[in-house]
A and B are shown apart, each in its own frame.
Chain A
Amino acid sequence: MASPEILTNAGLWIAGYDLQSNLNAIAISAEAQAEDVTTFGDPNRTYAVGVKRALYSGAGLLDAPAEAELQTDWGLSNLALTIAKATTINSVAFVGKVLLGQLQQSRSVNAPWTFSLNGEMCDRGFGRGRVMENQAAVTATGTGTGRQLRAISSGFKAFATLHVLSVSGTTPSLTVILESDDNSGFTSPATRATFTAATLVGGQHTSVDGPITDDYWRFKWTVSGTTPSFAFVCALGFEQPV
């Protein structure tokens, strides 16, 4: 029995910005070309799968901070993007490295200031997985919860995003790593990816090559500085279904 849902808490993070409270519509469309390979002797048209691509879009209500962020991001590529069914930890999420190609805003008398955005994944780095961390105020080094997701087969990849949403303190620094293990206790963790140390608001995207037989995953973070505090989101997606 299917479980249809009204997604009342969907989220979208792009680079170092949380757009949830601005958006009222979010979509991802995954495309694949069907190339005609019909030959003599075929009674029907036949097709083969060509190149894949994924596009995203959003629409909603604009305010000054969001407008400033989106104007900065507009026309840029390799922006870390996470779109989630809900902003809560362990919710289904899609991660990617995107370009923000189209940004439209509309101002009319006595009407909300609205906007829409459209873009596309820059490359293969698009996956489906989970929101792994959504931390509002991290002030010390820590370890996230490990989750059993999946292994990575040979020839496939996983992709991780880090969105640093706020930074405070004196010379604050946040370094996040992705670990895997073959057990829930993480008794023999292996570091699979390390994000560049974050000292400012911003986003990062990284990839992990298969094969990896471990199917438990978690993030860890190291914080340094004087009275540092960070708000950040981490998500992990896979090219294979999970």
Chain B
Amino acid sequence: MATKIIATATRVEIAGTALGNAITSCDIQGEAETKETTGFSDTNRTYAVGFKNWTATLNFHHDFTDNALNELLFGWWGTSQTFKARLTGSTIAADNPEFQGTVIFTSVPLFNANVGEVSGGSITLQGTGTLVRAVS
């Protein structure tokens, strides 16, 4: 029987800084390109695997406190940074793997003010290179 998990303490770290409860969700999306290789005499479409690609999407609350998330995002805009995320802040393990890689900040919502709403946003980070799934 699978263990049901509610992610209440996911740890997201960028450039060595744990972002704490400024982050409200973290999705990592892995894609593998499929290139069609179908030819004459094939009865079915056939494909070959191409490059792998990945992105990480974070939903967050802005924090305008000095040195907090809003200031960090401004500094990370247009840069490559190390990215790490794991289910909980506990030790990395087989049941608490950490995804590790390098991301580029391609689109950063630096400011969002809507009357009556908490300031925040969603940011999609472009992974570059290999996404590692570490278990120790």
**A interface, CB within 8 angstroms of B:** 1-8, 10, 24-34, 38, 42-49, 52, 54, 83, 85, 92, 94, 128, 240-242
Contacts and interface: CB of A to CB of B under 8 A. Distances in A.
Contact of A28 (B63, B109, B116): B109
A237 B22 CA distance: 24
Contacts of A28: 109-111
Given A34-B128, A46-B128, A49-B78, A5 B118 contact: yes
B130 A44 contact: yes
B6 to A, nearest CB: 20
Contact of B119 (A6, A42, A46, A240): A6
A47 B128 contact: yes
Contacts of A30: 74, 77-78, 107-110
Interface string B58-77: 00011111001111101101
Interface residues of B, number: 47
B34 to A, nearest CB: 14
The 9 nearest A-B residue pairs measured at CB: A32-B78, A4-B61, A2-B22, A241-B75, A10-B113, A28-B111, A7-B113, A24-B115, A47-B128
B41 interface: no
A208 B85 CA distance: 39
Nearest to B67: A241
Contacts of B72: 241
B110 A29 contact: yes
5 contacts: A3-B64, A6-B116, A32-B104, A94-B111, A128-B74
B19 to A, nearest CB: 8
Interface in B88-112: 104-112
A217 to B, nearest CB: 15
Interface centre among A27, A44, A128 (most CB of B within 10 A): A44
Contact of A44 (B51, B70, B120): B51
A33 B128 CA distance: 13
Contacts of A242: 71
A176 to B, nearest CB: 25
Given A2-B21, A5-B61, A49-B80, 13 more contacts: A2-B19, A7-B113, A24-B115, A28-B110, A29-B110, A31-B107, A34-B128, A43-B51, A44-B130, A52-B77, A85-B64, A128-B71, A241-B71
Given A3-B65, A45-B128, A27 B71 contact: no
A42 B129 CA distance: 8
A33 B129 CA distance: 16
A128 B66 CA distance: 12
Contacts of A34: 104, 106, 126, 128
A32 B20 contact: no
Contacts of A33: 106
Contacts of A92: 64, 70
